[in-house]
């Protein structure tokens, strides 16, 4: 891994140092033998393996080395900037991210704020963090943060919720979270920092193209761009535009199964249950093995709570219209892709008498039996 020195403002460092920090009380003899670069490699590897307790240990050692390096500085009005090793500059952010996944939110927030005061170009130079975009990696944390946002007045869940969405390119949700904090605390450092960087980040990121999107020019777009735009609009809760773009992609190329399914998901979000079922059936007919992917439907949403509301609407509809087998299949499909297999199978078995639904319902029913017979492996 190639590392470089990063130039950081000395004045900000000295201000941060003057505030003081609590040291890390731990025996370090086993870590002292590693170089900064070796520690960072170990920290990053264990983090990606979801061993956050161990990655915290490595990042905290680097963070302490950063503290020692800064404590050796002498104030100088003439010297406005210094160079620091990248491994040390990144340490507060890696530490904060590890603490986020350990659900130690106040500590995580403090580490990230310390990092921003040392390296204020963090948001500009790291406009996207892939692990935050991975729903399997980050979904449980976002769910917990959203629960705390509803139940406490603590700002930490709002700030970290905004932070994660900022680095997931979901600027709409990030802006909502940071704006909520600023509504009661106009001087909040982290919220102001990211609001100020939001416009620049949007210009740098392809998701920002949505603001200048011209629907009249979609006939000129290739299928892959139609799908890309459709996915982005769906993520940003514009399900109507997403459905239009996915339909145009289907009209241009009929045999891409995921587009039919994405079109069906958009129609489901719009409450068009009959049409949604037909689109999803078409996608599963083309490529039934799509259902073997252990994906979670909530993860396609910028705001997963919107999926929960849409699912509730479908549940209410099926309760009132139990003989509508297409709607019952759609309900089972959605249960299936949030891994609620018992509820899903109940719906699939109810529609097996319908010839048009039988093939997909039977396939999904059999998959549920297969999944339930497999031993679930615990994540690392």
Q: Are 73 and 10 in contact (CB under 8 A)?
A: yes
- Give me the residue label for tokens 């690392």: 380
Digit-coded pLDDT (tens) for 236-268: 899 999 999 999 999 998 888 888 999 999 999
Q: Which two tokens stand for residue 84?
A: 């620091």
The CATH code that applies to domain 1-120 is 1.25.40
Cα 294 to Cα 281: distance, rounded to the nearest angstrom: 18
State the pLDDT at residue 18: 43
Residues 254, 257, 258: CA angle, nearest 5 degrees: 120
Q: Which two tokens stand for residue 167?
A: 């680095």
Count of alpha carbons within 13 Å of 117, Cβ hemisphere only? 19
State the pLDDT at residue 202: 52
Cα 62 to Cα 87: distance, rounded to the nearest angstrom: 7
- Give me the residue label for tokens 């033998």: 33
State the pLDDT at residue 79: 46
Looking at the chain, how many residues does it have?
380
For residue 148, CA distances in Å to 105, 151, 286 come to 11, 5, 42
Strands 5-9 and 81-85: antiparallel
State the pLDDT at residue 76: 53
Q: Are 129 and 107 in contact (CB under 8 A)?
A: no
Q: Are 178 and 195 in contact (CB under 8 A)?
A: yes
Rg over CA atoms, the chain: 24
Q: Which fold has domain 218-373?
A: 1.25.40
State the pLDDT at residue 75: 58
Residues of the chain with pLDDT under 70: 1-29, 74-83, 126-127, 199-212, 375-380
State the pLDDT at residue 372: 84
Q: Is the dihedral of CA 335, 337, 339, 344 positive or negative?
A: positive
State the pLDDT at residue 82: 58
Cα 346 to Cα 214: distance, rounded to the nearest angstrom: 44
User: What is the end-to-end Cα distance of the chain in Å, rounded?
Assistant: 24
Cα 313 to Cα 316: distance, rounded to the nearest angstrom: 5
Cα 13 to Cα 210: distance, rounded to the nearest angstrom: 38
- Give me the residue label for tokens 């699912």: 311
> What one-character DSSP code corresponds to residue 293?
S
State the pLDDT at residue 156: 97
The torsion angles phi and psi of 90, rounded to 5 degrees, stand at -80, -15
State the pLDDT at residue 28: 54
For residue 377, CA distances in Å to 169, 336, 371 come to 31, 19, 12
């Amino acid at each position: 891994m190639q590392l470089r020195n990063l130039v950081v403002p000395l004045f900000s460092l000295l201000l941060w140092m003057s505030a003081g920090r609590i040291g890390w009380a731990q025996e370090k003899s086993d870590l002292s033998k590693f170089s900064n670069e070796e520690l960072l490699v170990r920290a990053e590897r264990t983090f990606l393996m979801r061993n956050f307790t161990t990655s915290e240990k490595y990042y905290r050692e680097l963070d302490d080395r950063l503290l020692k390096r800064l404590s050796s500085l002498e104030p100088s009005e003439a010297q406005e900037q210094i160079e620091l090793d990248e491994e040390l500059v990144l340490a507060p952010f890696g530490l904060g991210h590890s603490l986020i996944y350990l659900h130690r939110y106040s500590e995580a927030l403090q580490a990230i704020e310390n990092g921003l005061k040392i390296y204020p170009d963090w948001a500009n130079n790291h406009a996207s963090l892939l692990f935050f975009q991975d729903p399997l990696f980050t979904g449980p944390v976002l769910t917990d943060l959203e629960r705390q946002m509803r139940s406490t007045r603590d700002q930490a869940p709002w700030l970290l919720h905004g932070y994660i969405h900022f680095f997931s390119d979901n600027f709409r949700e990030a802006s909502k979270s940071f704006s909520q904090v600023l509504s009661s605390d106009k001087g909040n450092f982290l919220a102001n920092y990211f609001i100020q960087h939001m416009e620049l980040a949007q210009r740098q990121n392809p998701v920002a193209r949505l603001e200048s999107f011209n629907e009249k020019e979609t006939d000129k777009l290739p299928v892959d761009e139609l799908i890309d735009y459709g996915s982005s609009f769906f993520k940003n809760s514009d399900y109507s535009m997403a459905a239009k773009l996915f339909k145009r992609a289907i009209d241009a190329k009929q045999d891409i199964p995921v587009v039919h399914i994405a079109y069906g998901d958009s129609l489901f979000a719009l409450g068009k249950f009959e049409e949604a079922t037909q689109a999803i059936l078409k996608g599963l007919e083309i490529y039934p093995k799509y259902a073997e992917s252990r994906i979670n439907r909530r993860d396609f949403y910028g705001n997963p709570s919107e999926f929960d509301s849409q699912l509730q609407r479908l549940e209410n509809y099926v309760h009132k219209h139990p003989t509508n087998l297409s709607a019952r299949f759609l309900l089972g499909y959605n249960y299936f892709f949030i891994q609620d297999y018992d509820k899903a199978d109940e719906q699939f078995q109810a529609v097996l008498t319908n010839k048009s639904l039988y093939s997909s319902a039977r396939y999904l029913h059999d998959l549920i039996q297969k999944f339930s017979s497999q031993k679930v492996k615990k994540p690392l």
